[in-house]
Structure formats: structure tokens, C-alpha cells
Structure 1
Amino acid sequence: MAEQREMKAKTPWHSGKVICVAVFFIAALITLVAIAFVQNKPIPQKYKYGIVLDAGSSHTAVYIYEWPAEKENNTGMVRQRHTCAVKGKGISSYAQKSSGAGQSLMECIEDAKGNIPADKHEETPVYLGATAGMRLLRMQDSESAEEVMTSVKATLMSSPFDYQGARIISGQEEGAFGWITVNYLGKNFRKAAGTMGALDLGGASTQITFVSGQSVESPDNSMDFRLYGNDYQLYTHSFLCYGKDQVLKLALEKRLMPVETSLEDPCFHPGYSEKKSVKNVFDTPCVHTINKEDMDKSFTHNGTGNFTECQSSIMKVFNFSQCTNSRCSFNGVYQPPIEGTFGAFSAFYFVMNFLNLTGHSLADSKRGLEVYCNTPWDAIKERHPTVKHKYLAEYCFSGTYILTLLENGYNFTFENWKHISFIDKIEDSNAGWTLGYMLNLTNMIPAEAPDTPLMPHGGFVTLVLFLTIFLLILLLLWYKFLGLPSCSSPKEVV
């Protein structure tokens, strides 16, 4: 027909085939976007929690740790979440009223309840480790020590947490777990450079721990650990009665015998004078030469402030004459040669930091202490008005003792003194034995099955590729059914 126009035939957009292709295209596109979103959605991290109470000689501290439920290399990735200082003295001070030991922990237990999610309370293990203060009390009065431990056990068992034990840990354990802490925090277990030794100083004991290249001659000073797939044989020893508080009593004992009415002490500042009871100063199993009849006496403690004489006085508490092994530190205790770097924490850090000597050489530290010890007591009090006089008066002694212990006791030299780092915290976690203790214990806690992505990475890539190809096919079908759009006007054919 003449009026018939010749046009390129096209499929209407609303035909069944076009609608079907559009539906499949939209569905495939939505599926692809949804899978990509779910696959890459951040996985909520599951955490476990643990509580360790450090019942030391002078105070108790409560540490809360957390770690991912999925462990890495058989060692839980533990970090310190919170800490609470128990008010009052250490639990060993409750020997005459044992019930007070458990009661003293209640405030920090309540604090822990608020820092751990409520739904995790029942599965959160709680441990208490008592150190040198309780070791001394057990030596002095085993019955009282048992009553104190019974009191703290009852308190922990009544808490909502999973009570796992309260015990007096050995000095070797304290040293070894401190070594684990400094190396874990320093990430040394993942480095080829080796581990760091640990130096710990408390009120009643001191510990030295390091990996020695030599075979350990004394089995009592050896401990084995397996961490991050590696085996470590440690040399470790704990010297009971050689913490800074107890060794002060030993040094005073040497100077006061026989018991007199006054004592001139070069380890205290010039002008320092304090009347003290013999019983209050020397009522400890570390002191053996004070007679019972002298315990009711008192003496006046006067300071003369002389670093050199103070060091000579402290040297008398060490015994360097006995050694049945190839080499010893002091008191006949075997010690292999010092190797590598060391982290010195607890009272090592607190005392040296107060004296501003943490970054000094051994020679400079001695010169600094010489000036400090010779400073008049009135000037020291004026310089530090907020520090309790009891603690302030002892810094000259404590600093001199630390230098003497490290140099003459542990055999550090002017050359390798620079290998000692005085540390308090590493990455917001306190240096000390409790973190190492927690790390060791988490190896015995089964790991939960981790939350995983929707599908494995390979499966995800395959599905995305399939959906992409499917979308391309749908686009081709769309083109086939509708054709390419044309911008030119149709021509009439007469």
C-alpha cells in the first residue's frame, strides 16, 4: 500500500520478554550488592575475660584482662583492660584478723563487676596469687597464713566470677611469669632478635630471669615454657628477704647489733631523726639476731647521708664467699653470665623514676645518688611535700640498694648497664608477673569457634564473577529485544 511506511521493527518495551529480562537484571544486581555488603561487614569480635589478683607484701592489686576468643599460635592475645588498687596493706598484714583479708578485696571485686559485661561474669575466671609477703608469713606462722588464704578464697568464691584458685605462688613462678610479661608486651616472641631478661623487685623479694645460652647447672633455677610454637628454657631465681623493705631491716640489723638506744645511718638524709620500736622494725622471719628480750626496746634512727658508706653498709647483707657452682650471684646461688637486654620493673622502676635515674649510666647514677643522699632532710621534705615521710625517707637507701644489687649482686657492669630498661607499662599494660600468669592460664582455656564471613574468599570471588557474567548476558538480551536506540527520524517510502 502507498500509505504503508517501511520502519525497522522493534519489540515494544512492555513485551513479556523485556519485562522478564528486567526482573532478572534487577534481582541479580540486588543479590550482588547484598552479598558484597554481608561478606565485607565487620565481624563482631568475641572476647573472653580473666581476673588476676596480685597479693603482694605491701598491697594487693586487681588486674582485669581481655583477649579474643580465637587464640593465635596457642597463646591468647591478652591485654590489660582495667586495674584496681585494694585499699590498705597486703593480705599478710591481716595475720591477727584473717577475716579482714577477704573483706579488703570486696570493693575491687565490685569494681570488676562493672568493668566486665554481665553476661560474661559466670565464665570469667578469677585467680589470686600471693607472693613474698605470704611466703614470709607461712614461714613465720603457717596456721595464720592458711587462715588468711581461706578468707580470700571465701570472698572470691562468693563473687559472680568463675573462681579458679587462690594460692601462694613460688618465687620461681613469680620471676618466670614476669619474664613472659615483658617479652609478650615487647612482642619479642615474634622477633628473631631474641628475648629480654626480667628484673623484678618487690617489698619482700627480688627476681632475676633470662634465657641463658649455657646449660643451667642448678635444676631448681630452671623452668621450661612453650610459647608461640617455641620452647624456652629459663634461668630464674627469687631471693626471699631481698625485697627493698626486708633488706632495709637486714641492713639496720647489721648496724644496730648489739641493740643500742641510737643508730647512725648513712642511708638516711642528714637531719633525719625518728624514734622507732625494735619490734615494729624487726618483727620478721628475715631477721635472726635480735633477741626476744630486746623486742620491747626502742631506738632513735638518725641519718648521716653518705652514699659511699651506705653502699658499704648494704654490701654486708650479701654473702659472696660461698659458691659451690662454677659461678654465683650471691648467697651461694648459681647464676650464669648475664646475657642480652633486661627489663627492670616494679620497685626497680618506681624508685629509679622518683630519683630521675632511669636513663642514666651506672657512673652517673652513683653521682646522682651521692648528691641526693647528702641533701638535708628538711630540704627533701620541702621538695616533695605530698610524699609520705616514711616512703620519702627511704629513697636514698632504696636507690643505693638497687645499684648495689644490680652491680654487685647480679653482676651488671658499667658496660652492660645500658642494656637495662627501667619500665612501668608497655602498651597500657603494667609490667609484672600477673599478665604472664594470665597468658599461661589462657592456654588451658578452650578457644571458641570464631565468627566467619558468609562464605570463603574463593567462593565469594566465584559468585561475584558468576553474577557479573549473568548481568552482562541480561544486558545483551536487553539489546537484542529492544535494539539500539536511534537518533534519526524514520524515512517514508512511497
Structure 2
Amino acid sequence: MDFPATPHLAALFKYTIIFGLLVAFLVLLTLAVVESDKFLPAAGIDRYMQRMAFGEATDTRDPNLYYGIVVDCGSSGSRVFVYSWPRHTGNPAQLLDIRQMRDLQGRPVVKRITPGLSTLASNPDEASTYLKPLLQYAAYHIPRDKHKETPLYILATAGMRMLSESDQEDILDNLRENVPLDYEFLFSDTHVEVISGKQEGVYAWIGINFVLGRFNHAEEDDPMVEVEFDQTSLSEASQVPSILRKRTVGVLDMGGGSLQIAFEVPKSVRIDKDDISKSLIAEFNLGCDKHHTEHVYRVYVSTFLGYGSNSILKLYREQMANTSRSTSILDPCLPRDMPLEHTTQDGRHVHFKGTGDYTVCRTNLHHFLNKTVPCQKQPCSFNGVYQPNIDFKNSEFYGFSEFWYSMEDVLRIGGKYEYKKFEKAASDFCKTRWSLLEDRYEKGLYPQADEYRFRSQCFKSAWMATIMHDGFSFPANYSSLRSAQLIYDREVQWTLGAILYRTRFLPLKEIQAGILQQQSSYKPPWVRVSALTGYQYIFFLCFGIVVAAIFFYIRRMGGRRISPVRSPLHHVPSMSYFMVDEGMV
């Protein structure tokens, strides 16, 4: 290669080459970073949105994809949920990446039938026939060659709990006997059962925290909490007093008939053999290795039957009617001037008229908490029920069902809960004249609220606040409660938590294979770099080439003399020339 013959052209040519190489280096660096990011998990919250977002159809042709089925047998009907997950990474600290299976249109594979399984109490021999539409639906969507390795769980809840134990067993025995005759799924006697309210609450807690990414301890972008362990419940290989890991979220769920709270208890709790708290606290390991404590959780779950919004509303009106001699009663829990006709259980006709006094309404509701009931073990929340202390300075809760409806359907402040904002919105609604509220409703200004919700909004918002602050003792300045109907625009079912827990030992095969591979093939540090992605290889290769090119170019230019130009300065070394020339530019 011939270099320019004049000093100025040589310097210009040199800088042009160096500048071009640097530009090329920056372009390659940008491409390497951008492309390698495509292979990394999405950062922060976006990573977990991918689990719930409307996605592509599940690739049933992938041989490394596995499946699981959970049938939720509820009180009014049964639903089947089909889940899928890729092969486990082999890292014992990671859980299976379970997601809902999606059909060709990208919709979750879910099917519902009515009525509930419990309606077969007098005809238990029809149980397997009853479930056939759900199991056939699941079998159709799962590849035939995967059926024998696909676990099937049939789990019954509220409706079946109301039956006698003998009626329950008659129905379950029919399923245990006949389901394996028609389907090749992985199904044993323990895969069908009536689960307790405590189990259902734990499964719901697991599902919500999994979707929120709170079980991924490799990332530390979320708040942390120190978790203590009860040494008597751990194996000898895992005797660690405490660990620091991601903070999980607590769950509040209020339906029409019941109320439930579930949250992790970080502090070690002493539980004696006959301790009442034993029935309220579940300690379990979500991981597949009992010697590892990364996924050992201690969760408090309590269900309050009869404390749902509709049950309390009915009880409230009965008591108001029964404690008054008059048939015309002023009700602070109804909007101002709102009329309501009520017939008591004994046939009396009572006329209620709202006064819209939110503060008095809350005061009147306080006695339903039964705070005077003796607490068998301290501390208690209400109705004499034991509840461990909540660290309100380092905790987070999600409120579902009534917590969302009371905040959003009428008041339109769903999401982050703020005490003063909620109290003002609820109070303003209650004290507004009913004629004005009714006019707004008829004009369609409350599209999310049906008539029953609208008429009972004043009462239900007061009951929600009473439960929150007087029942569970959340302070008024608590800022870490969020009401929600969906997580990332999708409903999270307790069935997700159920399959996460019940399939927790499946990764053992991949983990054992990884251990054997590590033992049989030691790789020195310079070989372990092969774990880098292909684009990272390209980046380092290009970086080395550019640096080498610049080095050799400067070295070559430093060893030449510029010719054939004659100059008064004879035999000036080229490096000196560059230095003089650089000073001239």
C-alpha cells in the first residue's frame, strides 16, 4: 500500500483511517449490544408481563415442552386449565417456568362446565362422566405422545367441602377408578382430592407471587426482606438461621360470602403441637431440593366465613330492623335520601331511608368484627382469630374482588390505595342526594357498576375500610396496598399455584444431569467463556481486530519515512515527524 507523499496528506490519511476504524468499532459494538439483548430476559416488570400477555400459540411440535392439567371443581361449576413449560434449566435455585397453554388463536386453553361436582352427591357414579367434556378438551390440545408424562390434578373446593366425608369419598373414588381407564395422563389416587380453604389460599398466594416474579431471587431489583427459619423444621444440610431475599406480596380477597388474607411470615413463629396457629400457618418448600432454603416459605392464611360484603350487608339490615320498634329507619350506610324496602326473615316490612353519613356508618359496622371475642393466642386480628404481626414498614399487599370493586366500579380510584383519598371519595358519594346519583347512573356515568353495586356502594366502601383498618389494623398511612382485578391484564387463578407446588420435584432429573455433567467435564476458566452468547463472541472478536489494526498501522507508519519529497530537514525519523505534525494540526 502506497502512502501519500506529503506530510499533510499523510497525517490526514492516517487520521481518516483511524477514524474509520473507530466508527466501525462503535457500529459493531452497538450491534452486539442490541442483538445480545434479544437473548436476555426482559428487564424488571416486563419480564413477568410476558407470562400473562396475550401471546402466540403454544408450539406443540416442540419436543422439549411439557404439559400439566388442573381441574378446579368449584361450587357452581368446574374448569379445566392446561399449562405448559419448557425443560428446566438445571439450576436448583430456579422454578419451572409454567405458563397457561394457548390455542392456535393465542387464547388460554380453559373450559368451564356447570353445575358443580358437588351436585352429584346422590349420584356419585356419574362423576367421571361429568368431567369427560373437560378431560377430552385437555386431551385434544395436548400432543398424544405427551399424554403419559402429563400430570392431571382434580382438585375440589367450596362446594365439595359442604358435603359429608362419605359423600366426598364416593365421588372421588369414582374418579380414581374410571379416569385412568379413559385417559393416559399421569394420574394417581393422590391427584384427586378436596382441598381445604387454607390450601386454596396458599395456592392463590403462590400463583400471584410467581407471576409478579417474587420467586426469582437471582434479581435484586425488588425490595428485600430477611427471612428467619425454624431450625427444627429444616434438614441438617440447610441449617442457616436466615437469608435475605425478595419480598413477597400479601393477598387480600373479599367475596360476597367470605374474606381471606394470606401473607408471608418472615419471622420465625413458635408453633406447639396443639397450637391453634398450626392450622393457619403453612410452611413449605417450592424448590425441588429439601437441602436448599431459597424457596422455603412460611405463609399465614385465614378465611373468615360470613365476612364477605353481601353476607355482612344482609346481617346489618336484619339487625337494624330487629333493634328498631319503628318500621321507618334512618340508615347512615345508604346515600342521602335513598329509599329502601326490606323484608326481615320473620316477615316484617321495614322502610329504610338513607342519611349518607359515612363516618357513622363505619362506626356502626365496627361491632361486626367481634373484637370482644377472647383471643386464644396473641396477637389477633378480629373475631378472636390469631394473626402474626405484619411489618407495615416493609410489606406489600394486593386486594382483589371487593377491594377492587369498592374502589373502582363507582369511585373510579382503583389501583394504589390512599386512605385519605378513598375516605373522601366514599364520603362524598354517600352524602350526595340519591336523586342526583340516580340521574347520573341512568345517564350511563357509571358503566362498570350494575344496579345492585350502585345501591350498595356506600355500605360496601365503609365495610372495606372497616376490615382494612379496624379488622386487620392497617395504618392510615399505609401506602403499599394495591387493589386489582387482574395481574398484567389476566386473571391469576389458584390453579397456577397448585401446579407449581405439585410439580416442584420434576426438575430433579435435569438438576442431577447437570451435576453429573459438571463432575465429568471440568472446564478451566479460559474454556468457561464459551457460555457467552454468539453476539458477545462477535463483539470481543471485532474489538480485538480493531485494536490490532490500529496497533499495527501506527507501528508501520512509525517505521517508514515519507518520500520522495525533498526537505531541508534530512533524515528526520518518522515518529518525530508525526509528533511535530500533530503539534501543527
Q: In which range does the TM-score fall when normalised by the shorter chain?
A: 0.5 to 0.7
Q: Who is 1:35 aligned against?
A: none
- Aligned match of 2:438 in 378, 398, 402? 378
Higher RCO structure, 1 or 2 (CA under 8 Å, sep 6+): 1
SS at match of 2:193: strand
Q: Who is 1:319 aligned against?
A: 370
**How many Å separate the matches in 1 of 2:121 and 2:135?**
21
TM-score by length of 2: 0.56
RMSD: 4.4
- Is the contact between residue 210 and residue 235 of structure 1 (CA under 8 Å) also seen in structure 2? yes
Q: Who is 1:478 aligned against?
A: none
**How many Å separate the matches in 2 of 1:154 and 1:258?**
55
SS at match of 1:411: coil
Q: Is residue 338 of structure 1 aligned with residue 390 of structure 2?
A: yes
TM-score by length of 1: 0.65
**How many Å separate the matches in 2 of 1:97 and 1:382?**
50
Pairing 1:31-42 to 2, within 5 Å after superposition: none
Q: Who is 1:207 aligned against?
A: 260
Q: Is residue 243 of structure 1 aligned with residue 308 of structure 2?
A: yes
Superposed displacement of residue 169, structure 1: 1.9
Q: Is residue 426 of structure 1 aligned with residue 478 of structure 2?
A: no
Gaps in structure 1 of 5+ consecutive residues? 1-42, 279-293, 462-494
Pairing 1:296-311 to 2, within 5 Å after superposition: 297=347, 299=349, 302=352, 304=354, 305-311=356-362
**How many Å separate the matches in 2 of 1:394 and 1:432?**
27
Task: Describe the shift of the 1:311–1:162 C-alpha distance in structure 2 as closer, same or farther (beyond 3 A).
Answer: farther
- Is the contact between residue 80 and residue 110 of structure 2 (CA under 8 Å) also seen in structure 1? yes
Q: Who is 1:64 aligned against?
A: 82
Equivalent pairs, count: 396
Task: Describe the shift of the 1:68–1:328 C-alpha distance in structure 2 as closer, same or farther (beyond 3 A).
Answer: same
**How many Å separate the matches in 1 of 2:443 and 2:255?**
27
Pairing 1:12-411 to 2, within 5 Å after superposition: 44=62, 46-56=64-74, 60-70=78-88, 73=92, 75-81=95-101, 82=108, 84=110, 86=112, 109=135, 111-135=137-161, 137-138=162-163, 160=183, 161-163=185-187, 165-189=191-215, 190=217, 191=220, 192-216=245-269, 218-228=277-287, 229=292, 230=294, 231-257=296-322, 266-269=332-335, 271=338, 273=340, 278=345, 294=346, 297=347, 299=349, 302=352, 304=354, 305-321=356-372, 322-339=374-391, 340-355=395-410, 356-357=412-413, 358-374=415-431, 376=434, 378-379=438-439, 380=441, 382-383=443-444, 384=446, 388-411=450-473
**Which string of whole-angstrom CA distances, capped at 9 and with x for unpartnered residues, describes residues 423-478 of structure 1?**
344356533422211110111446666999xxx997998xxxxxxxxxxxxxxxxx
Gaps in structure 2 of 5+ consecutive residues? 1-60, 102-107, 221-244, 271-276, 515-520, 531-585
Letter in 2 for 1:438: I
**Identity rate, percent:** 29
**How many Å separate the matches in 1 of 2:482 and 2:448?**
27
SS at match of 1:207: strand
SS at match of 1:426: coil
Letter in 2 for 1:315: H
**How many Å separate the matches in 1 of 2:471 and 2:182?**
43
Letter in 1 for 2:286: L
**Which string of whole-angstrom CA distances, capped at 9 and with x for unpartnered residues, describes residues 308-360 of structure 1?**
34323432221112224332101111222212112223443344332423234
SS at match of 2:389: coil
Moved more, 109-118 or 256-265: 256-265
**How many Å separate the matches in 1 of 2:462 and 2:179?**
39
Superposed displacement of residue 45, structure 1: 5.7
Task: Describe the shift of the 1:245–1:64 C-alpha distance in structure 2 as closer, same or farther (beyond 3 A).
Answer: farther
Moved more, 300-309 or 150-159: 150-159
Letter in 2 for 1:433: W
SS at match of 2:385: coil
SS at match of 1:332: coil
Superposed displacement of residue 363, structure 1: 1.6
Letter in 1 for 2:207: T
